[in-house]
Amino acid sequence: MSTATLSETVTLDRLDEQIVRALQLSPRVPFRRLAQVLDVSEQTVARRYRALVRGGVLRVIAMVEPSALGESDWMLRIRTRPEATLDLGRALAQRRDIGWVGVAAGGSELLCAVRSHTQQQRERLLLDRLPRSAAVLDLSASVVLRRFIGGSASDWAQLQHVLTTEQTDALRDSAPPPRQPPPVDGDRRARLDEADYAVLEVLARDGRAPIGTLARAAGLTDGRVARRLARLIESRVVYLDVDLSAAAIGYPVQAYLSMTITPGQVENAGCTLADHPQTPFVAAVSGRANLVASVTCRSLDELYRYVTERLGALDGVQSVEVQPILQRIKQAGTLVDGDRLATAP
């Protein structure tokens, strides 16, 4: 079996792909267990994983679910002065409440995902900071009304074929989260304290950090931290994600689709698109377009066929705007350097 080549073009062999998919199903699975399922040595699994991380191919990270805190996800389209697009995009990418930043529209538009933990944090950005920026020519914001997919490590399913059914069953977490988080009223909003945020600070850099490392960061015992983390994940306040550079492993074409769907067909269209392996994110949103999706493909021809054949077959589609992503600056909370994930500090 050849070793993965992490150079200008990344070539993953079968074992590398299996490791990536296994982590999507169970992000904190111990190397020993992963080695047993894949029938290789623990040292081989650990070595391959570390090479993929060093090469900017993947990172396991923890994300907070805003809806569990009583907040909402927002999608921004920011029309910018062309000469200021990258500078503004990089500045936004440094914010912890910005989870995704991409450059579209020939380099004069930014697409962003806002995941604020408080209403005040979001309002300062949308009503004060961005409108005052000289780089911003126009700003539109849409709230996510329903997320059909996006919020689970296994959402991007292009590699689902590399594991057998038995391997998948052995690795899959016991209760995968539903596509749509449950509604949260004021009395049931999650409350995160300083210890929780200390743990999440470490997990945002390395979602596989050992319990001992998390305990030292929080100033708690290993047992208390293990129980707190398990509770946060089981209650879906926190989820573990596998941030993957799709472009680096042969899926360089990424696009953002804004669709107008007949209202009575939105639910069906969203569920259908969520089942496509090309779509790691699909959501119903407010605004002129009522359904959005991100799509990852191997080529422009595949993107064309996806739009004309798969979207074209859906009932209720009135219009589709296809925005190829020229450059990703940040994704799933990770900065992007070219086609690789930037190394965590």
- The CATH number of whichever domain residue 21 belongs to comes to 1.10.10
Q: 250: pLDDT confidence band, cut at 50, 70 and 90?
A: confident
Pairing between β-strand 74-80 and β-strand 10-11 as defined by DSSP bridges: unpaired
Taking the C-alpha atoms of residue 269 and residue 23, their distance in angstroms, rounded to an integer, is 29
Are residues 284 and 170 part of one domain? no
**Which tokens go with 59?**
């990172």
What mean pLDDT is predicted for residues 180-206? 77
**pLDDT given at position 235:** 84
Task: Assess if residue 151 is contained within a domain.
Answer: no
Are residues 212 and 255 part of one domain? no
Are residues 50 and 101 part of one domain? no
Are residues 302 and 170 part of one domain? no
Are residues 140 and 16 part of one domain? no
Taking the C-alpha atoms of residue 43 and residue 315, their distance in angstroms, rounded to an integer, is 50
Are residues 197 and 80 part of one domain? no
Q: 10: pLDDT confidence band, cut at 50, 70 and 90?
A: low
* Domain limits for position 278: 250-325
* Number of compact structural domains in the chain: 3
Helices marked H in 219-299 — which ranges? 222-234, 266-274
Residue 80 maps to which CATH number? 3.30.70.920
pTM, two decimal places: 0.85
**pLDDT given at position 126:** 83
Taking the C-alpha atoms of residue 220 and residue 226, their distance in angstroms, rounded to an integer, is 10
Pick the last residue of a domain from 244, 261, 295: 244
What mean pLDDT is predicted for residues 162-179? 75
Are residues 273 and 130 part of one domain? no
Nearest to 326 by CA among 317, 336, 316: 336
> Which are the contacts of 63, defined by CB distance < 8 A and separation ≥ 6?
99, 115, 151, 204, 238, 239, 240, 241, 332, 333
Q: 124: pLDDT confidence band, cut at 50, 70 and 90?
A: confident
Are residues 50 and 106 part of one domain? no
Confirm if 52 and 4 have CB atoms less than 8 A apart.
yes
